[in-house]
Amino acid sequence: MRLDKFICESTELTRSEAKSAIRKGLISNQAGTLRSGSYKIVADDIIAFKGQVITTRGFRYIMLNKPPGFISSNVDEQMPSLLNLIDIEKKQNVFIAGRLDADTTGLILITDDGQWSHQVTSPRKKCEKRYRISLQDPISEDAITLFAEGIQLKSESQACLPAKLEVLSEKEVLLTISEGKYHQVKRMFAAVGNYVTKLHREQIGDVELDHNLALGESRFLTEQEINGFK
């Protein structure tokens, strides 16, 4: 890794501040002062800033119980970014792994590990996601079969992959899908003549939303939860 990138990822310094520190001779290793941001760090390097050793921060993995009214974006747009809800350094470096609509609540995974994020979001991985859904009208008797066969959405050339629909009551269901088409859940129910009034994601892969987290609260993932996507 380049020296300037290592400093940015391991401290609160911006890229320009890191380059300035290097030019001023504030960065060193065991052999002396380092004056090039392009210096390639090797395994036995001990990097210091103003004489204080810099240690690698490591990747961060977070679950958030998303409330309504926040968008799955790294920056505020017409609505506030859900990243306003978490208190971490260098928010600009994290990815939102598996987005939700502004009015949808529930499990969001956030990380700065790009490879791990890909495991969660890549269509090829077919990572299952479970939703708790409230409906405007009673669910039809043949809906379970239709969802299991694969719902055909308007403007889509291929039907959705088979999905598991579990009926909890006439207007509440659990739906498990393994893909992430645009507004897919809402469009699937529209295709069978119903309307989603409330949508809440409970699970992604083997990671279930921590029921101790209120809307807007977050926590770091456990090692077991992290390893579920590796």
Give CA–CA dist 1/31, Å, rounded: 18
Give CA–CA dist 203/178, Å, rounded: 12
> Within 10 Å of residue 159's Cβ, how many Cβ atoms?
12
- Who contacts 93 (Cβ-Cβ below 8 Å, separation ≥6)? 9, 112
Q: Which of 44, 76, 87, 101 is catalytic?
A: 101
How would you classify the pairing of strands 95-97 and 129-135? unpaired
Helices 15-23 and 3-10 cross at an angle (nearest 10°) of 120
H/E segment holding residue 162: none
Q: Is 101 a catalytic residue?
A: yes
> Within 10 Å of residue 37's Cβ, how many Cβ atoms?
19
For 18, the token pair is 């890191």
Residue 134, strand partner residues: 172, 198
Cite the active site residues. 101
